[in-house]
Amino acid sequence: MIRVLIVDDEPIERIALQKIITEGLAEVEVVGQASNGREAIEQAERLLPDLITMDIKMPGLSGLEAIQGIKAAGIRTKFIMVTAFDTFEFARQALQLGVSDYLLKPSKKAVILETIGKVVEDILAERKEQERQRLESEKLRKMLPIVEADIVSQLLFDDVQSVHLSENIELLGVPGSRGGFVVNLLLSEPKKSEGSHGDLEKLYDTIIAQLNEASIHYWIGKLSGKQVPIIVFISGELSYRNNAVGIGQKLVQLVHRNSDYEPFAGIGGLCIDIGGAMRKSYHEALLASVDLNVPARFRLYEDLPHHEGAAARIETLELEKNVLEEVRRGSWEAASDQALQMIDAYEGAGEQIGMAQQRIFEVLIIVTRMLHEMGVGVDKPYYPNQAASFVQLKGDTRGIFNRLAGAAAALEGEMESDLLLTLKRYIREHAHEDLSLERIAAHVDRNPFYVSKLFKEYFGMNYIDYLTECRVETAKQLMQDPDKSLKEITFEIGYNDPNYFSRVFRKIVGSTPTDYRKQLLRPAVKKQS
């Protein structure tokens, strides 16, 4: 209902106008009357009407002065002025105050209903637009965490980056200009009670809420297994180390305070470029998490003890990261070769074989965690015994990598023969909806990271790129209907912003939707002529 306040110093005029409104406008309710300007301000503050019919000539405060007072009180309402004087000066003042319309005394019933009815329609249209904007804002608020998690996944894990990555980063805005680093938060099984996935989800939400309260600039990735990757951006005047130590302490305290899980935060090195360098920082964060018995429950990669000489250290650090990268890609032969090169570097530097075996074992521990994260359940990769030579160490290491590769291949072999077709069909059928990687993975009962890896491996693209192609192809079909506007098509295929759709369409097709449609409909136009 539209709430109306009638202001007039003549009781008969107020009663007559209320009767006309009540009988003629079903969607309007007269909530009060006022007999002068001061009373109008008081009633407006109390009743908060949507529309006020204001007599311009009243004892004490005039109608125009009452409008000024109501606006000064911050009350959002529309006004229809009622006057017996149709003068230029009145019209000028009314326009300055934003009056919607005016009625001359006396006016016919039909004129009164038409004038008030138009303003009521404006109010209803504004309400509808405000509700649309509210829903859009709410939708965007819900989408941003999904966009953020997708950006983290692409920066840290994906070899093939989506065409949407730059737009998504632009949507979020890079929180800092001094670079950032990756934190890999591990959550071990609770000691006091058995945890559940629901408990982890609740803890994940709590982590986000409290990091927001602490005004920390970050992007957080998806909860996968019991690991959470977080990109933290340098803020303020604090150094990288102070920022890293601070976030490590905060995360550990936060998890201890809100759950029974035992946390550990591995922290990678600083990266100025948020592109490919962030993956390096992520690998460093993984390697910083090898020893979970550190009393502080967090460790910076730069604080890892390195026993070998300087030259061997630099070489093996890069090889360690290469091993993890090849495992993430599913290139087991290459990962094994990188591990064997590490052993060669230790031998060439004169390292003791026991220390070399320990360092390789630490990398293998990280590899098994990554496999668990991707949904591959494997036991810890223990060596059968202490290697007596570097040749034996290389043979045992190759054997362990072969077993891990076999476990990963077995999982792929267990897939239903039509799994990939099911994924594609599901995306096509639901392309017009908000379709996250988690929702797609849940449909086939698989881990999101695993589904993402499969999609890229078999189809050579991200799932989001395939989703975009489906939407663009649907848009092309809808454009054949000349009665459909491009704005309607935008919403129908699942986008909320026509400008964004236009940019995506142009990137995929090579021309704007408008130009493409002109080419598409041109033969039909010629035929009609």
47 and 79 together in one domain: yes
Domain contains 68: yes
Q: State residue 529's pLDDT score.
A: 39
Count: domains in the chain: 4
Cα angle vertex 168, ends 162, 173, to 5°? 140
The DSSP bridge partners found for residue 481 are none
Helix (H) or strand (E) holding 185, with range, is: strand 180-188
Which of 395, 414, 433 is the endpoint of a domain?
A: 414
436 and 515 together in one domain: yes
Domain contains 139: no
| Residues contacting residue 275 through CB under 8 Å, at least 6 positions apart | 155
| Residues contacting residue 485 through CB under 8 Å, at least 6 positions apart | none
| Residues contacting residue 529 through CB under 8 Å, at least 6 positions apart | none
Q: State residue 417's pLDDT score.
A: 47
How far from the centroid of its chain's Cα atoms is residue 298's Cα? 27
How far from the centroid of its chain's Cα atoms is residue 18's Cα? 50
Residue-number span of the structural domain to which 238 is assigned: 174-303
384 and 337 together in one domain: yes
Strands 78-83 and 28-34, how do they pair?
Answer: unpaired
Domain contains 144: no
342 and 280 together in one domain: no
CA dist., res. 250 & res. 239, Å (int)? 16
Q: Are 7 and 52 in contact (CB under 8 A)?
A: yes
Peptide bond preceding 106 in cis form (omega within 30 of 0) = yes
Cβ neighbours, 10 Å, residue 497: 13
CA dist., res. 38 & res. 486, Å (int)? 51
Identify the CATH number of the domain in which residue 453 sits. 1.10.10.60
409 and 427 together in one domain: no
pLDDT tens for residues 248-297? Answer: 999 999 999 998 888 999 999 998 877 667 888 888 888 888 778 888 99
Which of 303, 336, 368 is the endpoint of a domain?
A: 303
410 and 313 together in one domain: yes
288 and 330 together in one domain: no
pLDDT tens for residues 167-209? Answer: 777 777 777 668 899 999 988 876 555 545 557 888 888 999 9
How far from the centroid of its chain's Cα atoms is residue 26's Cα? 43
Identify the CATH number of the domain in which residue 278 sits. 3.30.70.270
Query: Could you read off the pLDDT tens digit of each residue along the chain, which spans 529 residues?
Result: 999 999 999 999 999 999 999 999 989 999 999 999 999 999 999 999 999 999 988 888 888 899 999 999 999 999 998 887 666 566 667 777 788 888 888 889 999 999 999 999 999 999 999 888 888 777 767 777 877 888 887 788 765 556 667 777 777 777 766 889 999 998 887 655 554 555 788 888 899 999 888 888 889 988 876 788 999 998 777 889 999 999 999 999 999 999 888 899 999 999 887 766 788 888 888 888 877 888 899 999 888 875 444 445 556 777 888 888 788 777 888 889 888 988 888 887 777 888 888 888 888 888 887 777 666 667 777 787 888 888 899 999 999 998 888 877 776 655 544 677 788 888 888 888 888 887 888 787 776 777 777 777 777 778 888 889 899 999 998 998 888 899 999 999 988 888 888 988 988 888 899 988 888 776 544 444 3
291 and 346 together in one domain: no
DSSP H stretches of helix in 289-436: 310-329, 332-348, 353-373, 390-413, 419-429
Tell me the helix, strand and coil percentages in the chain, rounded to 5: 60, 10, 30
Domain contains 265: yes
Within 279-320, strands assigned E span: 298-300
- Output the CA–CA distances (angstroms, integers) from residue 374 to 157, 229, 321, 452, 519, in the order listed: 11, 14, 18, 10, 46
Nearest alpha-carbon partner for 231 in 249, 213, 211: 211
Domain contains 209: yes
Q: What are phi and psi of 463, to 5 degrees?
A: -60, -35
406 and 448 together in one domain: no
159-162, Cβ contacts within 8 angstroms, sequence gap of 24 or more:
159/329, 159/456, 160/456, 160/460, 160/461, 160/462, 160/465, 161/462, 162/462, 162/464, 162/465
**What burial letters (b/e) apply to 346-369, b meaning 16+ CB within 10 Å?**
bbebebebeebbebbbbbbbbbbb
385 and 336 together in one domain: yes
Domain contains 147: no
Which of 364, 396, 414 is the endpoint of a domain?
A: 414
Domain contains 137: no
CA dist., res. 446 & res. 123, Å (int)? 49
Tokens of 12: 């008969």
CA dist., res. 155 & res. 150, Å (int)? 9
Tokens of 371: 């496999």
8 and 120 together in one domain: yes
Strands 78-83 and 51-55, how do they pair?
Answer: parallel
288 and 309 together in one domain: no
Domain contains 146: no
